[in-house]
Structure 1
């Protein structure tokens, strides 16, 4: 009698209900992917290789295939929550404790779409299972180079100070201004009538102490301007009598423009041996000075000051760009992750530095991945070897920080599938009941 068909149908319907139930249970699990039970019919092999009228002997579960479609992306405002928009998997792995600066991967690398990451007590970016996120690690200067992926670790120490070594100054002086110098002592920084304009910038010594540097612009003749400078009120260039001397003299071309352009002009400098600058850059040295709080700053030598962007036109004085590359010490205050997976640490001194970059992996056959629990999969022979690269390259998706990928389970569809699976179960049970009635009839024949 054909009990086997009905029994296999009951087993298949039961497993289908299990798959649907698991999908429904993970409808709110970030990064989870819906599974689909796929079935195959069963036929007995004919002894002579023929049998066009064979009757099937039931059904079997061929596979449970996960559906790697994109889930919705939900903002969370947590910078360490990361969603992948497109193809790819995060790579995570356990790490051996106490490995210090050279962490070792412990166990197999796993692959996940769940971007709920945190920082553990050792500074590693980990998921809820304690597995570290893998990627490229930046060097001390924040330079990232492709390398063997390793656990990403955020810096725990702050950033060291950097003494100023370069100043970029771009400004326009008014060609209509009157001549204000030189005076008996060249310039009096407390008398605005002895100079035309002034601007200031904060520089830093090797200890990260701020030094207030002020520039004074004094017109001495048509198209000729002296540039004086003070650091915390101390003139940067003085003669033997202690009188302030300019650090540079700018001779603008008669047609305006900058002194290093095609129209002519020169920049004379008086520190670092003196000379004429051909590219607008001049040397600047700052001696030790006393700050308003009474502390003494360190000397800053070898500064390169760029005056090549200066112009003289018939408009009001204005500074369009003033920057320097020094900064004080800073502590880590936060991190950001861009769409290419670069993790940038932000420090209290306003500086930022790349500390690593997330590496993603893709597979030729993602349905060949084996579920390992914890929203992760492991590679198998069926999935093929992973192809690894940074987000946004090739067919890799982009990352979105402060967001998570929702489960791709469609609850409405799953509930409909549940009703269908329940009816299939009832129908298979009915075939067994009918076969039982037929067998009972045969047994009762006299």
Structure 2
């Protein structure tokens, strides 16, 4: 039994190493949230087993949970770079499927049609002017190429409260909408889909929408990005711990092998 007990430890140590390596690999990924492995022990016994005689039979991975602590804010100067100073996620519309994606990565740009999007062409979602977040659904962030007077687009800015303003060659400004922020009852239940994006699941609950700098939602910081919340020093310590964990379980298997070999070699 000791072989299988230690084998479960080896597998768990490998999982831990993989998660730590993934965190370190994304230490410079904008909007990335680090993960940690949570282990649980395994015991076996029936109602007729003496509680004092129950033996553990190894461990298992109970969960790989994400830490949604806010990462450091880096100033960039770009008007379409946004960081959330508190709680909330940007909602994006997937370019591939049209499904809703959620992210803390506010590195946005504008395409030739006027849509505000991320590096994967997923479109930022905003509320139309005068919309009620409790009732109205967000829409694609689209900046008109000309205003009502026919003047051409000259630039775009986003305020701390999420208001998207387009400026035109005739000196006028128009409000395009307000950036939509989403929150979840259980963010740890979100499913990672890559590129610092998440999808809602039954564990996370449905998204609740609101406006930046209102209620529990954080204000926006224009010209800034939220960096990864990975602490390299902390991850290196975790890496050493996982390595020792792996080595200890490997040693336990080696010891069990030696004991088995000694029993086999017994002479009567």
Is the pair's TM-score, using the shorter chain for normalization, greater than 0.5?
yes
- In structure 2, what is the equivalent of residue 108 of structure 1? 99
Following superposition, the deviation at residue 48 of structure 1 comes to 2.2
> Which of residues 154, 160, 166 is equivalent to 2:143?
154
SS class of match (1:52):
helix
Contact residue 94 and residue 101 of structure 2 kept, 8 A: no
Greater strand content: 1
1:63-74 to 2 correspondence within 5 Å?
A: 63-74=63-74
Following superposition, the deviation at residue 51 of structure 1 comes to 2.6
1:253-292 to 2 correspondence within 5 Å?
A: none
Following superposition, the deviation at residue 409 of structure 1 comes to 0.2
Give, in whole Å, the separation in 2 of the partners of 1:331 and 1:91.
28
Q: Does 1:77 align with 2:71?
A: no
* CA shift digits 1:181-238 (9 cap, x unpaired): xxxxxxxxxxxxxxxxxxxxxxxxxxxxxxxxxxxxxxxxxxxxxxxxxxxxxxxxxx
Contact residue 74 and residue 406 of structure 1 kept, 8 A: yes
Following superposition, the deviation at residue 159 of structure 1 comes to 4.5
Give, in whole Å, the separation in 1 of the partners of 2:74 and 2:261.
60
Give, in whole Å, the separation in 2 of the partners of 1:363 and 1:49.
44
SS class of match (1:71):
coil
Contact residue 157 and residue 331 of structure 1 kept, 8 A: yes
Give, in whole Å, the separation in 1 of the partners of 2:259 and 2:147.
83
* CA shift digits 1:342-379 (9 cap, x unpaired): 10011222221111111101011100111111111111
- In structure 2, what is the equivalent of residue 310 of structure 1? none
Structure 1's 49 and 338: CA in aligned 2 closer, same or farther, altered over 3 A?
A: farther
Please list every run of at least 4 consecutive aligned residues from structure 1 whose deviation after the TM superposition is greater than 3 angstroms: none
Contact residue 95 and residue 120 of structure 2 kept, 8 A: no
Following superposition, the deviation at residue 46 of structure 1 comes to 2.1
Following superposition, the deviation at residue 441 of structure 1 comes to 0.7
SS class of match (1:91):
strand
- In structure 2, what is the equivalent of residue 145 of structure 1? 131
Give, in whole Å, the separation in 1 of the partners of 2:164 and 2:152.
16
- In structure 2, what is the equivalent of residue 403 of structure 1? 224
Structure 1's 5 and 95: CA in aligned 2 closer, same or farther, altered over 3 A?
A: closer
- In structure 2, what is the equivalent of residue 374 of structure 1? 195
SS class of match (1:436):
helix
- In structure 1, what is the equivalent of residue 86 of structure 2? 86
* CA shift digits 1:270-303 (9 cap, x unpaired): xxxxxxxxxxxxxxxxxxxxxxxxxxxxxxxxxx
Contact residue 73 and residue 404 of structure 1 kept, 8 A: yes
Give, in whole Å, the separation in 1 of the partners of 2:40 and 2:120.
36
SS class of match (1:58):
strand
Give, in whole Å, the separation in 1 of the partners of 2:70 and 2:53.
44
Give, in whole Å, the separation in 1 of the partners of 2:57 and 2:263.
21
Following superposition, the deviation at residue 330 of structure 1 comes to 3.4
TM value normalised by structure 2: 0.94
Structure 1's 129 and 95: CA in aligned 2 closer, same or farther, altered over 3 A?
A: closer
SS class of match (2:165):
strand
- In structure 2, what is the equivalent of residue 214 of structure 1? none
Following superposition, the deviation at residue 38 of structure 1 comes to 0.7
Contact residue 92 and residue 124 of structure 2 kept, 8 A: yes
Following superposition, the deviation at residue 94 of structure 1 comes to 2.6
Contact residue 34 and residue 67 of structure 1 kept, 8 A: yes
The structure whose Rg is larger is: 1
Structure 2 residues not aligned, in runs of 5+:
none
1:26-45 to 2 correspondence within 5 Å?
A: 26-45=26-45
Greater helix content: 2
Following superposition, the deviation at residue 95 of structure 1 comes to 5.2
> Which of residues 329, 332, 340 is equivalent to 2:161?
340
Give, in whole Å, the separation in 1 of the partners of 2:181 and 2:79.
18
* CA shift digits 1:9-55 (9 cap, x unpaired): 11111100000000000000000000001111111132526533312
Aligned CA-pair RMSD: 1.5
Following superposition, the deviation at residue 333 of structure 1 comes to 1.2
Higher relative contact order (CA 8 A, sep 6+): 2
Q: Does 1:132 align with 2:118?
A: no
Aligned length: 264
1:307-322 to 2 correspondence within 5 Å?
A: none
> Which of residues 232, 238, 259 is equivalent to 1:417?
238
Contact residue 73 and residue 226 of structure 2 kept, 8 A: yes
Structure 1 residues not aligned, in runs of 5+:
97-105, 139-143, 161-328
SS class of match (1:111):
strand
SS class of match (1:114):
coil
Following superposition, the deviation at residue 93 of structure 1 comes to 1.0
Following superposition, the deviation at residue 108 of structure 1 comes to 2.0
